Every structure is written in structure tokens, then in C-alpha cells.
Amino acid sequence: MMLSSGSPVLVFPSKVDGWIAALMILPLAVSIGVVGSALRANPPLPALFLLVGIEVLVLALIVATVRSTRYEVTDREVIVRSPPFRWRIAIDGIESIRPSRSPVSSPALSLDRLEIRYAGDRRILVSPRDREGFLAAVVARSRHLHRAGEHVRRVA
């Protein structure tokens, strides 16, 4: 996909830690066990459809999250997508990017994370599989960001 200025939108899939994927699947497995037990009680047909429908929706959300969590770098912004959510971060509003291993809930499927601080004191954690490429792409699109290793800071 090309932007009006001709620069490509760069897409960086999330790195996925196996244990985080397993942690997401564990509640589903328990839920399937509970639904299986409930189904042996021969529930009425509407209840059966409700139980199975909920399971399918939960499974679809987990699969969509694991497969579709990604970070897009355009000429003007970083777009963080983690179904069903989306965040837009203006590159000109980024104050800093630094490595983090914070376990705080975020659209990052690995603890090998980068904390983006933007718009004053807002923060978001991301985990691009290609950290080097992600950092280079963001810095290349800004006149105000300077990089020192894995640390990016706004310069005056």
C-alpha cells in the first residue's frame, strides 16, 4: 500500500511468546470443558446454540488477536492494531521509545516490548518481531526523534 507521498506503509507483525499464546488459550480450554459438561445434561436447543456460539466467538477473538496484532508505520503515524482495538499515534507526538519487559496488559504478544511514550504522558507497549526495522522506520519518518541503540528520544 502506498501513501500519497509515495512512501510505503510498513507493517510489523507482533512477536508472539508461546507462553502468552498458551495463556490466552487456557481459559478457552477450561470453558470448553465446562460447556462439554453442560452439553451432557441435554440442554434445550436455544441454550445449546448460545453455549456453542459463545465458544466460537471466543475462539475467533483469540485467533484474530494472535494472527492480526501488528504495528503499521505510515508517513505520519504509528497504527497499533490488535483486534478488536486500534490506536493511532502521531509520529510528531512521540516523546520516546524504550525497551520494556513490563507485563502490563497491552497490544503486545511478547514480553520483549517497546514502550512508546506520546502525547504528554500517554504510553503503549508494542512487541514488533522486527524491533530494529520498527525503530528505524519510526525515526526515519520524524525530524524530531533521535536514536541511540534501542532508545529513541525527542530532540529539540
Residues near 38 by beta carbon (within 8 Å), at least 6 away in sequence = 51
Condensed to tens digits (0 to 9), the pLDDT of residues 91-115 reads 999 999 999 999 999 999 999 999 9
pLDDT of residue 1: 44
Domain ranges of the chain: 10-15+70-154, 18-66
Q: At what angle do helices 45-68 and 18-39 cross, to 10 degrees?
A: 170
pLDDT of residue 6: 57
Task: List the CATH code of the domain at 10-15+70-154.
Answer: 2.30.29
pLDDT of residue 3: 44
Cell 517497546 found at: 114
Residue 40 has pLDDT above 90, yes or no: no
pTM (2 decimals)? 0.81
Q: Phi then psi for 89, rounded to 5 degrees?
A: -120, 115
Task: Report the distance separating Cα 20 and Cα 65, nearest Å.
Answer: 12
Mean per-residue pLDDT, 32-39: 82
Task: Report the distance separating Cα 23 and Cα 111, nearest Å.
Answer: 13
Return the ∠ at Cα 63 (arms to 65 and 38), rounded to 5°: 120
Mean pLDDT, rounded, of the chain: 90
Contact of 97 with 85, CB cutoff 8 Å? no
pLDDT of residue 65: 87
Task: Report the distance separating Cα 65 and Cα 99, nearest Å.
Answer: 22
Cell 520524524 found at: 142
Percent of the chain with pLDDT over 70: 96
